[in-house]
Structure 1
Amino acid sequence: MLTCLANNFLATLSSSQVTSVSYSLTSSNATGYWSNLPTTLATRHGVTLGSLTTAQKTAAMAMLNAALSSSGQTTMSELLAADDYLANYASGYGSGLYYVSFLGTPSDSSPWILEFTGHHYTFLASVNGSYVSLTPNFVAVEPVTWTSGTTTHTPMATRRNALLAMLTGLSSTELATAKLSQAYDDVLVGPQKDGNYPSTKQGIAVSSLTSAQKELVKAAIKTYSDDANGTGQSDAYTTETALASTYIAWASYSDLSTKGSYVRIDGPRVWIELSVQNGIVLSANHYHSIWRDRSTDYGGNFTF
């Protein structure tokens, strides 16, 4: 399905646009052109949503939505809306400044990647015969909440609340065991930090937790991994075997509200981080977070 929709999108483009979205499937192309910075400060590959005709954008959105579950589609639309909100206060923001590109040629037999990237949201959907990965998936938001008309938007509340429930489900002793000695002002394995995992797992082992506590860990993982449409990543992360080798940890503040709050989940494959930071455009805090997969980031095509 994703390959078919990718080719449908390509068919709507002019020859110059096809050239603009097409790149070789190399490590440098995969890792080097996504960022948490606005597009005025960091180079992206591809064509912007804002440059597309109505028909082209319709085809692009059909393709992007196919990579995502229903919850993933909501995540994407809400984070694009957040960037549109920021555009009211500063230049260099907006949903029209999100880029679409392909690494490799969309095919049912050869590996390729659909990259969608902009200021506060990126996914790299990797296909290798079948759809195998939505990671790296950078999910961030400023502002954390805003109101448009009568609608209040809180795009990352489900993630933040599930991670908070995971931490508050620990006893005081367990919470102390899970605390990291180092402070973090951003995610550790973010853009251009591929493979920057700690050499040993830190925090508290999920294997030591009760069944109810393990369910809270699984729920927190799924707020990220359930955004993928059919990659199998979510199920792989939450088996008893996987959880037996998973650790959770936090730093500085466990309330996930105070600036400097930080939390992570580190499994045999899954890596999730959330960092609470000062606002950049607005005064309130904002969130950075990342979901990675040690095995299938970029489709498992590269080693870091």
Structure 2
Amino acid sequence: MVGGSSWRAAVAEMREAVRALLSVLEPEQVRELRAGPGRLDAPGLREWTYLPGPRPGLSTEGLGVRQREAVDALLAAAHSAPGAELARGAIEVERYRRARAGATGADRYWVRLLGDPDGDGPWGWRMNGHHLAVHVVITAAGMRVTPHFVGAEPARLPDGPQAGRRLLGAEEDSARTLVTDLDAGRRAKALFSAAPPDDILTRTDPFADPDLLPAGLPHGDMTPGQQRSLESLVRRYFDRAPAAYAEECWSDTVAGGLHALSFSWAGGLAPGDRHYYCVRAPDFLIEYDNTQDDGNHAHSVWRHVRHDWGADLLRAHYTDEHG
């Protein structure tokens, strides 16, 4: 089970980041930050979206410089260094999109603190907005960081100082390398549709269900090189999280058997073609699509069947509390 002592340094960093944020907020802002029910397993806390629009919590739109720096530090604490860069990148690309559309005003994301980080009970926080959804739950037994969603619109910046930037380029290229390396027989098993879906298949479902995804090409039916490519792709998503936690997620995957992994692709194979892929496993799923705006609008998500929203940790905590 993910949740050994190796995650504690990341939790300590997040706890300090929360304290720093609270120290620079006004009382009304603290009330907005703490919006939410008392228990972290309340059904309403599984409601989420990666579309534009307001969320419960503290809006970043009206924050001062020090306050925004504190939010940025908290966001970074929930990630590895590359993961933090990816999360910041989602905000930067959204900033570009809004400016190109003529929108005014600061970044529009919402931060929500749940529970007491200085208490003995479960606590967590989340940051949500267009194309970014980060969810963290912590108990004495472990931490969880899924659902984790990052998107980019446009997928490739066409102009400006960062012209050509592809926020999710490595996620796309790694999967394309795998699918184009498949021989005809294996590729036929991996390709489930010539036309890709318009979005990730799990959308904003409150519960992650791998059965929504195609069966795909199993890890065991791949060549050793293709297997390594699939494993590297999975690790790229896990590595968004703090390093020790990501390593535990990977150890759990290996212990469960890499044969349980499968890979599927839909759409074109050439760069610029509209496409979709997913990785399916008994305990987690990964989805990526670049289909909207004629293949220049990317979504990516990592979800866990039992761990999403810290469900397993919360169930154990509340059972013990009332046992």
TM-score range, shorter chain: 0.7 to 0.9
Helix, strand or coil for the counterpart of 2:199? coil
Aligned ranges 1:152-171 → 2 under 5 Å:
152-171=164-183
Which residue is equivalent to 2:320? Answer: none
Within the candidate set 258, 270, 276, 1:243 is matched to 258
Identity of aligned residues (%): 23
Kindly provide the CA deviation profile for residues 80-105 of structure 1, in whole angstroms up to 9, marking residues without a partner as x: 11111111232668761011112222
CA 1:271–1:44 in structure 2 vs 1: closer, same or farther (change >3 Å)? Answer: same
Task: Tell me the distance in 1 between the aligned counterparts of 2:93 and 2:213.
Answer: 36
Task: Tell me the distance in 2 between the aligned counterparts of 1:68 and 1:51.
Answer: 25
Helix, strand or coil for the counterpart of 1:116? strand
Check the 8 A contact 2:263/2:277 in 1, yes or no. yes
Aligned ranges 1:70-89 → 2 under 5 Å:
70-89=81-100
Check the 8 A contact 2:198/2:292 in 1, yes or no. no
Helix, strand or coil for the counterpart of 1:148? coil
Within the candidate set 174, 186, 208, 1:174 is matched to 186
Which residue is equivalent to 1:50? Answer: 61
* Alignment partner of 1:7 is 2:22: no
Which residue is equivalent to 1:208? Answer: 221
Q: What's the offset of the Cα at 1:296?
A: 1.4
Aligned ranges 1:262-281 → 2 under 5 Å:
262-279=276-293
Which residue is equivalent to 2:133? Answer: 122
* Alignment partner of 1:38 is 2:49: no
Helix, strand or coil for the counterpart of 1:153? coil
Aligned ranges 1:182-197 → 2 under 5 Å:
183-197=196-210
CA 1:289–1:148 in structure 2 vs 1: closer, same or farther (change >3 Å)? Answer: same
Kindly provide the CA deviation profile for residues 119-164 of structure 1, in whole angstroms up to 9, marking residues without a partner as x: 0111102212265222101111111112432664211001111111
Task: Tell me the distance in 2 between the aligned counterparts of 1:271 and 1:118.
Answer: 22
CA 1:92–1:45 in structure 2 vs 1: closer, same or farther (change >3 Å)? Answer: farther
CA 1:88–1:190 in structure 2 vs 1: closer, same or farther (change >3 Å)? Answer: same
Which residue is equivalent to 2:238? Answer: 225
The AA in structure 1 aligned to 2:205 is: Q
The AA in structure 2 aligned to 1:167 is: V
Which stretch of the first structure deviates more once superposed, 8-17 or 232-241? 232-241
**What is the total number of aligned residue pairs between the two structures?**
295
Check the 8 A contact 1:137/1:291 in 2, yes or no. yes
Runs (4+) off by over 3 Å: 26-29, 91-95, 252-257
Task: Tell me the distance in 2 between the aligned counterparts of 1:250 and 1:109.
Answer: 45
Task: Tell me the distance in 2 between the aligned counterparts of 1:38 and 1:133.
Answer: 25
Task: Tell me the distance in 2 between the aligned counterparts of 1:131 and 1:151.
Answer: 41
TM-score by length of 2: 0.82
Check the 8 A contact 2:126/2:134 in 1, yes or no. yes
The AA in structure 1 aligned to 2:283 is: R
